[in-house]
Chain A
């Protein structure tokens, strides 16, 4: 199926086969994703990008992600994922489809994607929770399949559902984890006290976890994940359900953790947080990494993160995006309510 298409760069009117995943302007070579206008036009009429879309700077797709490059990362990387493929039993859908990336020491790496895109599956594969069909995962140089114990020793994981042994007390749980990671008595005591104070859990640490609130469970998971000071800290949507103070503490701790040469790998739906916190991000969609780019020191990428995410994941709609941007800054209280209050 062909459509008329006007390139935003050179202005040439082209006829392009939209069945191709990547559209290239025959005149200037600029790449477009066919997702950009999927659903926008069904009638084979001339498509031109709106002014706002041009301003979004979406002249390329996936240009930041080079699979060949990611398949040969720096051996010193804290996390190397190479050609990872994961299919769930009794499912014909490939949950993670041949993805490769690496995370360097001292880096906070954001992993973005819509619900069901493959973020959690990837995280579960790299933490050893799920077996995978093919590929390779190395944590601090240790293969998660061949040398799982050493690999897991270097890693701390905070799950998205905050499941913990609720019949244990907070201190029992953290001590249990510390025992498994062989943390010496004096170190664990110092760290536990510090973290309990940091996350305002001193008064609850000796109570059974079942009495904890959602956020407190999340905090105890975080403390348990940090008790052995892992080189790689993996967090699956860590800020969900946390109070603002704890969110701030975690962000501060993530930064401190990385400043000490360690690495944080986390998935999130909070684009604003990712924008402020991450050195690099990868966007995963339908099991494939479709983009990866630097945020640290790249103001344009930071500014365009939301729009880029919306467009690349195929969810871009003018109205929705405008709403999203408006919500970021505007006063959202309905006028009627304000009037009534007046």
Chain B
């Protein structure tokens, strides 16, 4: 290994890295191009909605409460934390878990050169993320505050300055994170339980926060801006080091420029603001220098060792003694499928963690929706709302079935050579997904049912409602699972990584999600609307407000038809379609 450091090597490595990422432009068909444009438009729309949300939030804080600096501190903290999370993930993926590390080590380049070339990419990535996250936040703040042109210059400066801190913190965090990742390798159940708890906690916190915001928006009683809350915001803003320095830099810059622009500008105010701004700049520079130095020392010291350790433990595995005994074919297939899901962090998160967390998520989602919905339009929307929320979570869970063939990867040939019919193999997969989703739905209904049929929950649901919601949801579990498997049989993508896992979710997952969400919205709206309005066809009254029985029957009939159609679509002519799958 060459020891000296050469910027020429860094340049070559960086160019190589960029070329491997963006070098090959695929020739797209017209349809693919249209889809690509549609995707970009979708991203722009989603981004636009987020920016609008930021503007709205800024207006609430700044215009209604006058907490402009506090708002700036809070959002700066939030955006920098978000940028730090993204940067940490980028650093781990690109620096430590990058598949080309082993290959690069064979070249006559030093570990330092590899580190620097990859760090340049990580920093640029981080800069773009910071610009995308922070710039709209500052711009919307500026619009709300009716900022001057010089303020916007300050915003750009502060965003550029802000891009260093997340990057340095990410580099420091990445090392222990990698050590933890290496330590929990093969502790699948532990990681799964931990993941479920994290997912639930994050979701609950999110919904509680959202609930508070919505409560404020709804009745404008300023519960979020009560005296106690405002004091808390101030306290937080005062203690949010080092993020408050960034916000205060912008604030004092603005004060200084605005004061200067006045005809009767006060030199004292201007000087004080300039001094404070300079002080903040010094703080920011100092903390960046310190963290940058710490990051450089830790990373340069640990990087080479960590990637070598990663390469050495790439094949780290566990040992497990099992009994050699005969099991039924179905049992063997079922066990194998389940083991492969459980032993993959990605798969168990996508499937088992979501299925396990769904009851908690549905309950809290329902509680929020119930509070907001029942207060504005009445308790009658609850059955429809519950149904919609459950179907959305079913969709997330069963969409995993749309990779059931693709996930076989290089071992797909195995499903062809074993003396088990394709139908049986697909039935087993179908059953596994259906069983897990069924348990998840049952728990969702049980939890929501127990609470919302009780006095405490306001008796907004009846036992009939809960039973019907379970029945309809179950029919949809089976239908959506069938549809997901059909899509994967039709166009599987065996794009697996070195450890045999799918590189990314394929288009079938997106398709399954879209179908499920459309069904959820359609069913939810149908149930909500016709619990208020009478449903008549000609002169025949099908359903009257407040009587959901016929609505449930209609939805159950629709779901039944969907189930018959999807199951037929899955199993009719399955052998021929399966045989024609060629990896």
Contacts and interface: CB of A to CB of B under 8 A. Distances in A.
Partners in one complex: yes
Nearest to A164: B411
A131 B580 contact: yes
A166 B317 CA distance: 10
A207 B332 contact: no
Contacts of A168: 336, 339-340
Contacts of A179: 326-329, 331-332
B103 interface: no
A294 B416 CA distance: 32
Contact of A163 (B322, B331, B413): B413
B332 A171 contact: no
Interface stretch (B49-57, B59-67, B291-299, B418-426): B418-426
B413 A182 contact: no
B341 to A, nearest CB: 9
Contacts, number: 117
A130 B417 CA distance: 10
Contacts of A185: 324-326
A161 B416 CA distance: 15
A167 B343 contact: yes
B377 interface: no
Contact of A178 (B319, B326, B411, B421): B326
B106 interface: no
B326 A161 contact: no
B315 interface: yes
B413 A152 contact: no
Contacts of A157: 417
Contact of A207 (B317, B324, B344): B317
B325 A169 contact: no
A208 to B, nearest CB: 3
A184 B329 CA distance: 12
A130 B327 CA distance: 29
Interface string B320-360: 11101111110111011001100110000000000000000
A180 B329 contact: yes
A182 B418 contact: no
A176 B324 contact: no
B410 interface: yes
A172 B320 contact: yes
Contacts of B335: 176
B500 interface: yes
Contacts of B411: 163-165
A188 interface: yes
Contact of A167 (B333, B344, B414): B344
B320 A176 contact: no
Given A130-B582, A163-B411, A169-B320, A149 B421 contact: yes
A182 B326 contact: yes
A153 to B, nearest CB: 4
B155 to A, nearest CB: 49
Given A161-B410, A211-B315, A129 B417 contact: yes
B316 interface: yes
B64 to A, nearest CB: 55
Contacts of B582: 88-89, 130
Contacts of B107: none
B338 to A, nearest CB: 11
Nearest to A171: B322
Nearest to A89: B582
B318 A208 contact: yes
B499 interface: yes
Contacts of A165: 336, 340, 411, 414, 500
Contact of B326 (A153, A155, A184): A184
B540 interface: no
Contacts of A171: 321-322, 324
A89 B579 CA distance: 13
A276 interface: no
Of listed A167, A176, A184, A212, residue having the most chain B CB within 10 A: A167
Interface of A: 88-89, 124, 127-131, 148-150, 152-153, 155, 157, 159, 161, 163-169, 171-172, 175-185, 188-189, 192, 206-212
28 contacts: A127-B416, A129-B417, A148-B419, A149-B420, A150-B419, A157-B417, A163-B413, A164-B414, A166-B500, A167-B339, A167-B343, A171-B322, A175-B322, A176-B335, A176-B336, A179-B327, A179-B328, A180-B420, A181-B419, A183-B326, A185-B326, A188-B324, A189-B324, A207-B317, A210-B499, A211-B315, A211-B316, A212-B315
